[in-house]
């Protein structure tokens, strides 16, 4: 379906952007061919590397090809906006179309804008995340835990694009916050253990007073989740799969629950099971739920969860994509804070992103520092 949708977008760009250009036929055919290859970038990766999620080629080529794909996506988006504006102009002008010279100039503007915005967006995507601070009051949080600070990392997607040196800077910035707890809500990697072993080593230097708790995202399951679980635990992380962990602070407990990702079902492993993970957890206990995707929100709210932390969406990556594309695919949740019944939901924009669409425009990556407050403080 993914590749089919991209082909449909390609046909639209060719019909509405390429063919109307006042160029020679050979030039337009050449541009159409380049855009076809660009739109099929991920399919070509799958043929060459056996996966579209981790192209093991020089970083400069990952940036180049990923950037070209971003140009293609923006070319489609801006062309669609231009066509809508043409339709509005046709209505306002009572059936008189905009003259062809203006439309030609507008198409050149669209093409240049797609290239410039892609360069800016790819550059932004490769930067180390800033810290985003959030303060939340949990109904069940005892006064003893007031001010408890946890840092959420998610969607690091450590790869040829966001590599070991990048991961080292993320770790240094995270440790500088001196958090009480670090949680990682999935998609730590893109690639096999042999390809990523050195790149993930900096994660072993993460430090928090009560440790590092991790869950698996869909991308871990693409590259043998069981083996990656062993690696993460060797790096000092506690990996939760449909289970919970009690953290004691001055004799008072905070429960951290971690669920499997839905992708587990596609790989013959148990999917998310909140009921099993919450067994023996008192309903009145302060509970933080870690899920990779922002799904099953209403059910979790009814289960007595105080706070659910998720990622997966990358915040939409481009302002406007969050509401138009990403939210509808994720139960209406794309980025930031939501209140669902008595439960808080926080969806991080992601600390990194997938190398296959490496762009951020108006949706910055983040290291999320979340301070928990007690209503009785």
- Its domain, for residue 310, covers 130-373
Phi/psi zone of residue 362: left (φ > 0), alpha (ψ -120 to 50 degrees), beta?
Answer: left
Residue 288's domain is classified under what CATH number?
A: 3.60.21.10
Tens of pLDDT, residue by residue over 164-217, are: 999 999 999 999 999 999 999 999 999 999 999 999 999 999 999 999 999 999
**How far apart, in whole angstroms, are the C-alpha atoms of residue 332 and residue 248?**
34
- Taking residue 6's Cβ as centre, other Cβ atoms within 10 Å add up to 20
Residues of the chain with pLDDT under 50: none
The pLDDT of residue 140:
87
**How far apart, in whole angstroms, are the C-alpha atoms of residue 218 and residue 254?**
27
**Could you tell me if 108 and 60 lie in one domain?**
yes
**How far apart, in whole angstroms, are the C-alpha atoms of residue 138 and residue 301?**
13
Q: Which of 76, 100, 125 is the last residue of a domain?
A: 125
**How far apart, in whole angstroms, are the C-alpha atoms of residue 63 and residue 67?**
6
**How far apart, in whole angstroms, are the C-alpha atoms of residue 64 and residue 292?**
29
**Could you tell me if 180 and 117 lie in one domain?**
no
**How far apart, in whole angstroms, are the C-alpha atoms of residue 259 and residue 268?**
16
The pLDDT of residue 270:
94
Contact indicator for 352, 155 with CB cutoff of 8 Å: yes
**How far apart, in whole angstroms, are the C-alpha atoms of residue 91 and residue 351?**
44
- Helix crossing, 25-39 with 59-92: angle to 10°? 120
Contact indicator for 255, 281 with CB cutoff of 8 Å: yes
Contact indicator for 340, 301 with CB cutoff of 8 Å: yes
The pLDDT of residue 284:
83
The pLDDT of residue 32:
97
**Under DSSP, is residue 151 helix (H, G, I), strand (E, B) or coil?**
strand
**Could you tell me if 33 and 119 lie in one domain?**
yes
Handedness of CA 149, 336, 263, 343 (dihedral sign): positive
β-bridge pairing 287-290 and 252-258: parallel
Measured in residues, the chain has a length of 377
**How many domains are there within the chain?**
2
**Could you tell me if 71 and 141 lie in one domain?**
no
**How far apart, in whole angstroms, are the C-alpha atoms of residue 44 and residue 144?**
55
**Could you tell me if 87 and 143 lie in one domain?**
no
**How far apart, in whole angstroms, are the C-alpha atoms of residue 54 and residue 128?**
20
**Could you tell me if 147 and 194 lie in one domain?**
yes
Which residue pairs from 276-280 have beta carbons closer than 8 angstroms and sit at least 24 positions apart in sequence? 276/242, 276/243, 277/240, 277/242, 277/243, 277/244, 278/244, 278/303, 278/304
Tens of pLDDT, residue by residue over 241-294, are: 999 999 988 777 899 999 999 999 999 999 999 999 999 988 888 999 999 999
**Could you tell me if 103 and 162 lie in one domain?**
no
Closest CA to 185 of 161, 136, 219, 235: 219
**How far apart, in whole angstroms, are the C-alpha atoms of residue 215 and residue 76?**
35
Q: Which of 66, 96, 125 is the last residue of a domain?
A: 125
- Helix crossing, 41-49 with 25-39: angle to 10°? 60
DSSP one-letter code for 70:
H
**Could you tell me if 217 and 354 lie in one domain?**
yes
The pLDDT of residue 137:
95
**Could you tell me if 49 and 160 lie in one domain?**
no
The pLDDT of residue 100:
83
* 213 backbone dihedrals φ, ψ, rounded to 5°: -115, 135
**Could you tell me if 113 and 151 lie in one domain?**
no
Contact indicator for 197, 234 with CB cutoff of 8 Å: no
**Could you tell me if 226 and 363 lie in one domain?**
yes
**Could you tell me if 165 and 262 lie in one domain?**
yes
The pLDDT of residue 87:
85
Give the global pTM.
0.94
The pLDDT of residue 133:
98
The pLDDT of residue 249:
81
Q: Which of 80, 95, 125 is the last residue of a domain?
A: 125
Tokens 């023996």 sit on residue: 280
């Amino acid at each position: 379906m993914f590749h089919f949708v991209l082909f449909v977008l390609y046909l639209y760009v060719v019909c509405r952007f390429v063919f109307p250009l006042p160029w020679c036929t050979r030039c337009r055919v050449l541009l159409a061919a380049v855009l076809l290859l660009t739109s099929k970038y991920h399919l070509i990766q799958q043929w060459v590397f056996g996966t579209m999620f981790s192209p093991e080629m020089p970083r400069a080529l990952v940036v180049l090809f990923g950037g070209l794909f971003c140009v293609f996506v923006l070319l489609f988006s801006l062309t669609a906006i231009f066509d809508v504006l043409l339709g509005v102009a046709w209505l306002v002008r009572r059936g008189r179309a905009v003259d062809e010279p203006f439309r030609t100039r507008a198409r050149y503007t669209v093409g240049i804008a797609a290239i410039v915005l892609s360069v800016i967006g790819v550059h932004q995507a490769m930067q180390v995340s800033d810290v985003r601070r959030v303060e939340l009051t949990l109904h069940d949080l005892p006064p003893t835990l007031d001010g408890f600070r946890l840092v959420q990392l998610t969607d690091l997607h450590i790869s040829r694009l966001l590599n070991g040196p990048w991961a080292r800077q993320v770790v240094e910035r995270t440790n500088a916050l001196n958090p009480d707890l670090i949680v990682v809500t999935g998609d730590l990697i893109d690639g096999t253990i042999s390809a990523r072993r050195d790149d993930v080593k900096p994660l072993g230097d993460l430090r928090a007073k009560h440790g590092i708790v991790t869950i698996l995202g869909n991308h871990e399951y693409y590259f043998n989740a069981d083996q990656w679980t062993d690696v993460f635990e060797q790096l000092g992380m506690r990996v939760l799969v449909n289970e919970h962990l009690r953290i004691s602070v001055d004799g008072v407990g905070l429960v951290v629950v971690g669920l499997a990702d839905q992708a587990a079902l596609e790989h013959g492993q148990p999917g998310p099971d909140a009921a099993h993970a919450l067994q023996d957890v008192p309903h009145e206990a302060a509970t933080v739920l870690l899920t990779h995707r922002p799904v099953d929100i209403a059910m979790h709210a009814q289960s007595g969860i105080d706070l659910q932390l998720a990622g997966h969406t990358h915040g939409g990556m481009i302002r406007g994509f969050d509401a138009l594309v990403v939210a509808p695919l994720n139960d209406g949740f794309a980025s930031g804070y939501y209140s669902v019944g008595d439960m808080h939901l926080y969806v991080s924009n992601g600390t990194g992103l997938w190398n296959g669409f490496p762009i951020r425009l108006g949706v910055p990556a983040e290291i999320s520092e979340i301070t928990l407050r007690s209503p009785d403080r």
